[in-house]
Amino acid sequence: MKTDTHQVPQGEGKGRTIVLTLVMAVITVVMFSQGKMPQDPKEMIALVLTLLFANTLFFLLLYTGRTDRYRAIYFSTFAVSLIISFVSHMFEARGSMSLSETKILQCEVPFCHLVIPMTLVPMAITKTIIFPGSLLGKYASIASMFVIWIGATLALGRGFCSWVCFYGGLDDGFSRVLKRPVIRNINPKWIYLPFAVLLLVALTAAVYLSPVYCSWLCPFKAVTEFQAVTSTKILIQTIIFVGLFIGLVIVLPILTKKRTQCAFLCPFGAMQSLTNKINVFDVRIDKEKCVKCKRCIQVCPTLSMSEESLEQGCARITCMKCGKCIDNCPKGAISYHIKGTDIPGKRNAYRLLFLFAAFLFLAIFSSHIIQDGIVRVLKLITTGSMIS
Amino acid sequence: MQGFFLGLSSGLTCVAYCTPVLVPYMLGEGKGIAHNFAALAQFLLGRLAGYLAFAFVAWLINLSVLERLESKGLLIGALYIIFSSFLMIYAFFKTDAPCAARSIGHIAGKIKASLLIPAMAGLLSGIAFCPPFLLAMTHAADKGSLSYSLFFFLMFFIGTSVFFIPMPFIGALRRFQALQIIGKMAAGIVGLYYLYAGIIAVVAGVKGI
C-alpha cells in the first residue's frame, strides 16, 4: 500500500559529503592547474574562483540531494564562458567572428562535437575527416574532441548533453527564465525530428563529403563563428542559423521551459540517444512508489518522460540524465540506476557513482574554458578589452 | 544524388505503407527468409518498372509542354514551391498521404494474401501520387533529357528501397511507428531544400521576364 510520506531524494550526511568533496577537490586541483600554479595574477584568481565554484557546487549536489539545480548553474556558466572565451579567441586570431574562405582552405576551423555524426560514415569509407580543422595541436583540434566524446559517451551516454556539451547550457539556462511555461502542449512527435535530421545530415555528408549541418542549420554559429556573407546562398544560410538560434535556443526555451534545440533539432543529441542503449547508467521509475502525479512529465526538458514511461518504469531513449525529474518527484520514485541491478536498490550509491563520473567530465572539460572566461572578464574590467 | 535523397527520405514512409501489402504475403506463404527475399525482389522490380514508366512520362511532359514555354523556370519553381509545401505539410502536420500502396493493402486484407503477385503489387504501389513522388516528377520533367529522367527515378527507387531490405526479417520492424514518423520528417526536411530551390528558380524566372 502506498503511503503519503514525502520522500524527496535525501543527500549524503555532512561528514560523508565533506570527505567526498575533498576527494573531488584533490582531483580538480590537479586537473585544473595541470600541476603548476599560474604566475599571472588574473590567471591565479581565475583558477581559485573556478576551483571554489566547482567544489562548492559538488558539495551542494551531494549534501542537498538535488542534482539538476546545481548542475544547471555549472552547465550554463560553462556555456556562457565558452562564448566569451571562443569569441575572444576568434577576435585575437582573425579580428572577427566571421570565417573566410582562406581560413577554411588552411584547415583552421575549430572542431566541435556536433560535427561528429557527419564525420563517421565518410571516415569509415574514405579514411578522411570531412572538416577543415586541424587534427592535433591547435585550438579545438579534432583528435582531442573525439577522445572527449568517446570517453564521455561510454561513461554517460546521452548524459553528454546535460553534463558535457558546451552549448547545452544556453537553452538550459533560457528554459529557466520563466517560472511557468507559456506554451504547454507540445506534440511529442517532435522528439523524432532530431533523428530525421541525423538521418539526412549523416547521409548527405557521406555523399557530398561536406558537413551539411554546419553549413545550413547549426544555430550555435550565431555565438561562435560563421562564414562571411559573400553570396546570396551564404546570406540565406545566415538567416537560417540566426533564426534557429533565436527561435530554438532563446525564445522557445523561455516560452516552453524545454530545451527545444536539444530536444527537437540537434542531430548529435539523436546520435547520443542511441548510445544510451549501451551506457551503464539510466533513469528508472520505481512503479511501487510512483503515484502517477505526472510531475516528471511536466518538468522533463526533453519530453523524455511520458505516461508510457511511467507504465514501463523507465525514461525514453532520449533521456539526458539531467536529474530534473528526480529532483521534482514528490515520492522519490525516480532515481539514477545501474543497468542490471535491482530497483530501487542502493539508489544513493548509484547516484554517487553517476555524479562522480558526470561531474568530473563537466569540471575537467569546462575548467580551462571557465578560467579563460574569467580572465577575459577581468581583462575587460581592468583594461577595457577582452582581447590581448 | 537528389533523387536518391528524396527517395531515401520518403523510403521509411513507403515501407510503412507497403508493409500491409508485403507482410501478409510473406507471412501467408511462410516459407522462410530466402523465399521472403525472393518475394521482396519481385516486389521491388515491379516498383522499379512503375517508376521508370513515370520517368518516361516526365520526359514526355518536358518535351511536349515545358520546352515550348518561355517561362519554364518560373513554372518549375512554382511547382517546386507547391509540392514542397505539400511535402512539408504531409511530413509535419498530416497523418496520411495519398499512396496507392494503402489501397492495395486494403484489397490485400480482403482477398487471400497468397494470391497477390508481389511484382504486380510493386508496380501498382509505384503509382503513388504522394508529395515526394510529385516532387520527383517535377524534378525529372525540369531536366529534360530521357536519360537523366530515367537515372533520377532509378536513384529515387534505390533511395526508397533501402529500407525494404530488413523486411524479410519481419521481427526487426517492431518500432515501426517511430520509424514512420522519422521518415516523414526527413521527407519534410528534403521539402525545405526543394522550397529553397523553388524560390531561387522563381526569383531567377522573374528576373528573366
- pLDDT exceeds cutoff 80 at B27: no
CA distance A28 to chain B (A): 42
For B4-26, the pLDDT digits (tens) are 777 776 676 666 666 655 665 55
C-alpha B122/C-alpha B104 separation (Å) is: 10
Fill in the amino acid letter for B66: L
For A25-57, the pLDDT digits (tens) are 999 999 999 888 898 999 999 999 999 999 999
The pLDDT score that the predictor gives to residue A255 is 97
* Domains of chain A listed by start with CATH number: 10-96+346-388 (no CATH), 97-279 (no CATH), 281-345 (3.30.70.20)
C-alpha A354/C-alpha A119 separation (Å) is: 29
Binning pLDDT at 50, 70 and 90, where does residue B151 land?
confident
Task: Check B189 against A207: CB less than 8 A apart.
Answer: no
Q: Please name every residue paired with A226 in a beta bridge, in sequence order, or none if there are none.
A: A98
The pLDDT score that the predictor gives to residue B172 is 47
The pLDDT score that the predictor gives to residue A98 is 80
- pLDDT exceeds cutoff 70 at A219: yes
Q: Which residue has the cell 512529465?
A: A297
The pLDDT score that the predictor gives to residue B174 is 47
Best CA proximity match to B1, nearest among A212, A32, A7: A212
Chosen from B88, B185, B190, B193 to mutate, greatest number of chain A CBs within 10 A: B185
Task: Check B190 against A200: CB less than 8 A apart.
Answer: yes
Query: For chain A, how far is it from start to end, CA to CA, in angstroms?
Result: 66
Q: A236: nearest CA in chain B? A: B196
Question: Residue B178: which of A192, A197, A208 has the nearest Cβ?
Answer: A192
- pLDDT exceeds cutoff 70 at A3: no
Chosen from B10, B90, B95, B181 to mutate, greatest number of chain A CBs within 10 A: B181
DSSP string of A225-285, one letter each residue: -EE---SHHHHHHHHHHHHHIIIIIIIHHHHHSS-HHHHHT-HHHHHHHHHTTT-SEEEEE
Task: Please answer whether residues B27 and B112 qualify as being in contact, where contact means their C-beta atoms are separated by less than 8 angstroms.
Answer: no
Q: Please name every residue paired with A337 in a beta bridge, in sequence order, or none if there are none.
A: A282
The pLDDT score that the predictor gives to residue A223 is 92
- DSSP assignment letter at A98: E
CA distance A194 to chain B (A): 9
- Average pLDDT of B33-40? 73
Residue A341 cell numbers, joined:
541491478
Q: Which residue has the cell 480482403?
A: B110
- Residues of B in Cβ contact (< 8 Å) with A208: 1
For B53-110, the pLDDT digits (tens) are 878 887 877 777 766 667 767 777 787 788 778 777 777 776 555 555 556 556 655 5
Q: Give residue B32's region: left, alpha or beta (phi > 0; psi -120 to 50).
A: left
Alpha-carbon torsion (A307, A312, A316, A321), positive or negative: positive
The percent of residues in chain A predicted with pLDDT above 70, rounded, is 94
Task: Check B186 against A200: CB less than 8 A apart.
Answer: yes
Task: Check A199 against B5: CB less than 8 A apart.
Answer: no
Average confidence score pLDDT of chain A: 89
CA of A58: how far to CAs of A27, A155, A357, A363, in Å?
12, 18, 12, 10
Q: CA B133, A117, B192: angle at the middle one, nearest 5?
A: 30
- pLDDT exceeds cutoff 60 at A6: no
- What's the CA dihedral at A284, A287, A289, A291 to 10 degrees? 110
The pLDDT score that the predictor gives to residue A276 is 92
Task: Check B182 against A196: CB less than 8 A apart.
Answer: yes
The dihedrals phi and psi of A98, each to the nearest 5 degrees, come to -80, 150
Q: Within a 10 A sphere around the Cβ of A352, how many other Cβ atoms?
A: 17
Q: B187: nearest CA in chain A? A: A196
- Identify the weakest region by mean pLDDT among A41-55, A305-319, B132-146, B191-205: B132-146
Task: Check A203 against B181: CB less than 8 A apart.
Answer: no
- pLDDT exceeds cutoff 50 at B177: yes
Q: Is the peptide bond before A344 cis (omega within 30 degrees of 0)?
A: yes
- Average pLDDT of B112-136? 63
C-alpha A62/C-alpha A71 separation (Å) is: 11
CA distance B145 to chain A (A): 24
Q: Is the peptide bond before B98 cis (omega within 30 degrees of 0)?
A: no
Task: Check B186 against A196: CB less than 8 A apart.
Answer: yes
Q: Where are the domains of chain B?
A: 2-208
For A138-183, the pLDDT digits (tens) are 667 888 888 889 999 999 999 999 999 999 999 999 999 999 999 9
Task: Please answer whether residues A329 and A286 qualify as being in contact, where contact means their C-beta atoms are separated by less than 8 angstroms.
Answer: no
Average confidence score pLDDT of chain B: 70
Q: Give residue B145's region: left, alpha or beta (phi > 0; psi -120 to 50).
A: beta
Q: Within a 10 A sphere around the Cβ of A104, how many other Cβ atoms?
A: 14
- pLDDT exceeds cutoff 70 at A77: yes
Task: Please answer whether residues A383 and A55 qualify as being in contact, where contact means their C-beta atoms are separated by less than 8 angstroms.
Answer: no
